[in-house]
């Protein structure tokens, strides 16, 4: 019996671009097929900046599925504390969180640490490519 996973998509910028929801769903569906997971239709996050209402509701009502497959880790909150709390909550419910684009999974606190390290590396690279941020007056 395949494990059931609900998709999570958004209409905000992700990876410094707007990724159409249709593309996000295709990537998630392909990820599920390649990993022998049953794909359940995605929930779409509200477009308001820093809104995670849909994601929080998905996690709070996750009883009937084995986890969530999001398009990217960069759909999670930018704030380290908020991001970590959401991920710990899903682990506390003995569920998994997959990220299709990066092919990353969260099943333990160690996985959260790894995800946060990847997040910080990407942000450091982005900031390094913006020399005006480090310029001192």
Q: 80-91: per-residue pLDDT in tens?
A: 999 999 999 999
Query: For residue 137, is pLDDT > 60?
Result: no
Other Cβ atoms closer than 10 A to 72: 19
Q: 115-124: per-residue pLDDT in tens?
A: 999 999 988 8
- How far is it, in rounded angstroms, from Cα 96 to Cα 103? 13
- How far is it, in rounded angstroms, from Cα 102 to Cα 74? 10
* Structural domains for the chain: 3-134 (3.40.50.1390)
- How far is it, in rounded angstroms, from Cα 84 to Cα 96? 14
Query: For residue 134, is pLDDT > 70?
Result: no
């Amino acid at each position: 019996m395949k494990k059931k996973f609900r998709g999570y998509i958004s209409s905000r910028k992700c990876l410094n671009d707007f990724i159409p929801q249709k593309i996000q769903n295709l990537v998630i569906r392909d990820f599920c097929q390649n990993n022998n997971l049953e794909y359940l239709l995605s929930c779409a996050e509200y477009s308001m900046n820093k809104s995670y209402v849909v994601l929080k509701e998905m996690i709070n009502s996750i009883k009937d599925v084995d986890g969530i497959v999001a398009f990217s880790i960069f759909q999670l909150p930018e704030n380290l504390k908020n991001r970590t709390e959401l991920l710990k909550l899903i682990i506390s419910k003995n569920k998994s969180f997959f990220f299709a684009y990066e092919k990353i999974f969260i099943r333990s606190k160690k996985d959260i640490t790894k995800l946060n390290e990847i997040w910080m590396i990407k942000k450091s690279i982005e900031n390094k490519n913006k020399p005006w941020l480090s310029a001192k007056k």
